[in-house]
């Protein structure tokens, strides 16, 4: 290889998953590789577990982690062992290292993951369970998974994680869910305790723990349906929100695809960008909003609806668009009639990307009609009416009509 890397097939890097049972849980090959490695990388806990086997130099993880990656790469071509927890390719170090080291240069010897161990202790078929890592990540990520009858296994960060999870369940209306804390799985300190989230009183929890949830919903529980078009009441807003039916049609027009990025320009409450991210964990949104109050509200809504990683940019388009990552889809809800916004959005859009603009005002409708005449695409007129009281009877009360332009960049 031109960069001096070892020839294909020379496996200098070995990633070994180790459990709480230490060397006893390792096979002969893993034991031999650890014992003969001149350099062994891992966390303090991993080194302690493998102490009887290690004869080479020990290297603990540095902060930032990239420094440890560089130290490993400096030893390219000489035997290096990396110790990891359980399955290194399930929320583990293997995924990080594989971005720097070719598959032909490494071997992996996994141990059972915490998910597998927890499922086996509980007798839960793993393929029927939602698995999520909350280790070093916002606990709000669990919210989209909270459906009655759902079983969830979640990795936590430390001994405080189970209590924080119980508090979230109670606040969201799932206080009767059964929460099982499984501690130090696979080792001598293994312990399993269960309690209803509303009655959580566990103490002296091992920092190394996994939480299993058997979800039960109480009256008024905050359940996020899988379909687009969440109820407007689920969002905090000041009236500037794409209403439920229009939002569902807008998400359909935006057509989310794996790994794509949406720009939500003039985001208001952030409802479209939030639902874009709820469609799949791989999706990302940047919400651009000029009002500081609304920008703060968008962040609150994103956390409350389980997508806390939604990015908010405070500023007015088109200036606020400068320097942002290139989008695969753009939604223009508010502010699209301002000079230069549509042109800037179109210029930024990836080839093959979709732009959807919703016009409610006459000014925005004029922009949409002009752009359609110039660029093509499709126009849809959306009229929604809702039943409402008319004196002692009921009648249809129309909402403001929306003209929707959808265009794909060739």
| CATH code, domain carrying 149 | 3.30.950.10
Q: Are residues 390 and 257 in the same domain?
A: yes
d(CA 350, CA 329): 8
Indicate the pairing of strand 13-18 with strand 106-109: parallel
d(CA 54, CA 32): 10
d(CA 156, CA 376): 50
Q: Are residues 399 and 253 in the same domain?
A: yes
**Closest by alpha carbon to 338, among 354, 360, 316, 370?**
316
Instruction: Output the six-digit token pair for 175.
Output: 């206080």
* Single residue among 83, 111, 139 that ends a domain in this structure: 111
Indicate the pairing of strand 284-289 with strand 311-314: parallel
Q: Are residues 194 and 263 in the same domain?
A: no
d(CA 250, CA 244): 10
* pLDDT above 70: residue 377: yes
* Residue 280: pLDDT band with limits 50, 70, 90: very high
The residues with which 16 forms a beta bridge, in sequence order, are 83, 109
Residue 80: give the domain boundaries: 13-111
Q: Are residues 302 and 399 in the same domain?
A: yes
- CB count in 10 Å sphere of residue 239: 6
Q: What is the phi/psi pair of residue 379, to 5°?
A: -120, 135
pTM for the whole structure = 0.90
Mean pLDDT of the chain: 94
C-alpha of 322 from chain center = 25
- Within a domain: residue 66? yes
Looking at residue 334, what is its pLDDT? 74
* Residue 336: pLDDT band with limits 50, 70, 90: confident
* Single residue among 179, 214, 249 that ends a domain in this structure: 214
Q: What sign does the CA torsion over 68, 69, 74, 76 have?
A: positive
| CATH code, domain carrying 69 | 3.40.1010.10
Q: Are residues 246 and 383 in the same domain?
A: yes
- Helix, strand, coil distribution of the chain in percent, nearest 5: 30, 25, 45
Give the burial class of 334: count Cβ atoms within 10 A of its Cβ; 0-12 exposed, 13-18 middle, 19 or more buried.
buried
Q: Are residues 99 and 124 in the same domain?
A: no
Q: Are residues 24 and 154 in the same domain?
A: no
Element (H, E) at 294: helix 292-304
Q: Are residues 181 and 56 in the same domain?
A: no
* Single residue among 64, 89, 111 that ends a domain in this structure: 111
Place of tokens 């935006």: 254
Q: CA–CA distance from 50 to each of 17, 38, 82, 84 (Å)?
A: 11, 14, 11, 11
Q: Are residues 253 and 395 in the same domain?
A: yes
Q: Are residues 36 and 124 in the same domain?
A: no
Whole-angstrom Cα Rg for the chain: 26
* Cis ω for the linkage preceding 139 (within 30 of 0): no
Answer whether 386's CB lies under 8 Å from 397's CB: yes
* pLDDT above 50: residue 139: yes
* Residue 365: pLDDT band with limits 50, 70, 90: very high
* pLDDT above 80: residue 264: yes
Q: Are residues 269 and 377 in the same domain?
A: yes
* pLDDT above 60: residue 275: yes
**Closest by alpha carbon to 342, among 378, 311, 307, 368?**
368
Answer whether 193's CB lies under 8 Å from 137's CB: no
**Minimum mean pLDDT among 59-63, 143-147, 211-215, 337-341: which range?**
337-341
Helix (H, G, I), strand (E, B) or coil at 282: coil
Helix (H, G, I), strand (E, B) or coil at 223: coil
């Amino acid at each position: 290889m031109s960069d001096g890397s070892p020839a294909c097939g020379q496996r200098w890097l070995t990633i070994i998953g180790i459990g709480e049972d230490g060397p006893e849980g390792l096979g002969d090959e893993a034991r031999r590789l650890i014992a003969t490695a001149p350099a062994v990388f891992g966390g303090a806990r991993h080194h302690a577990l493998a102490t009887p086997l290690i004869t080479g130099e020990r290297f603990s993880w540095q902060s930032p982690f990239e420094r440890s990656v560089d130290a490993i790469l400096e030893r390219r071509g000489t035997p290096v062992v990396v110790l990891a927890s359980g399955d290194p390719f399930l929320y583990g170090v293997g995924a990080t290292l594989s971005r720097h080291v070719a598959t032909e240069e490494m071997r992996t010897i996994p141990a059972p993951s915490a998910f597998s161990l927890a499922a086996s202790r509980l007798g839960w078929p793993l393929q029927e369970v939602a698995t999520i890592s909350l280790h070093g990540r916002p606990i709000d990520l669990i919210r989209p998974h909270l459906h009655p009858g759902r079983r969830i296994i979640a990795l936590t960060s430390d001994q405080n994680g189970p209590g924080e999870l119980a508090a979230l369940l109670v606040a969201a209306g799932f206080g009767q869910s059964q929460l099982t804390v499984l501690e130090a799985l696979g080792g001598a300190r293994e312990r399993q305790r269960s309690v209803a989230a509303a009655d959580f009183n566990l103490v002296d929890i091992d920092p190394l723990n996994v939480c299993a949830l058997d979800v039960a919903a109480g009256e008024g529980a905050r359940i996020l349906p899988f379909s687009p078009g969440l109820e407007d009441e689920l969002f905090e807003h000041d009236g500037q929100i794409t209403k439920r039916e229009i939002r569902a049609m807008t998400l359909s027009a935006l057509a989310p695809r794996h790994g794509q990025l949406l720009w939500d320009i003039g985001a208001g409450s952030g409802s479209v960008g939030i639902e874009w991210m709820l469609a799949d964990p791989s999706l990302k949104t940047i919400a651009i909003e000029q009002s500081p109050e609304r920008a703060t509200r968008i962040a609150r809504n994103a956390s409350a609806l389980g997508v806390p990683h939604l990015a908010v940019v405070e500023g007015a388009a088109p200036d606020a668009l400068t320097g942002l990552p290139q989008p695969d889809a753009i939604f223009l809800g508010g502010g699209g009639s301002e000079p230069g916004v549509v042109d800037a959005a179109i210029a930024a859009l990836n080839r093959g990307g979709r732009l959807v603009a919703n016009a409610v005002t006459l000014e925005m409708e004029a922009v949409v009609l002009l752009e359609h005449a110039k660029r093509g695409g499709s126009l849809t007129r959306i009229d929604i009416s809702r039943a409402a009281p008319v004196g002692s009877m009921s009648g249809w009360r129309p909402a403001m009509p929306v003209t929707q332009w959808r265009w794909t960049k060739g």
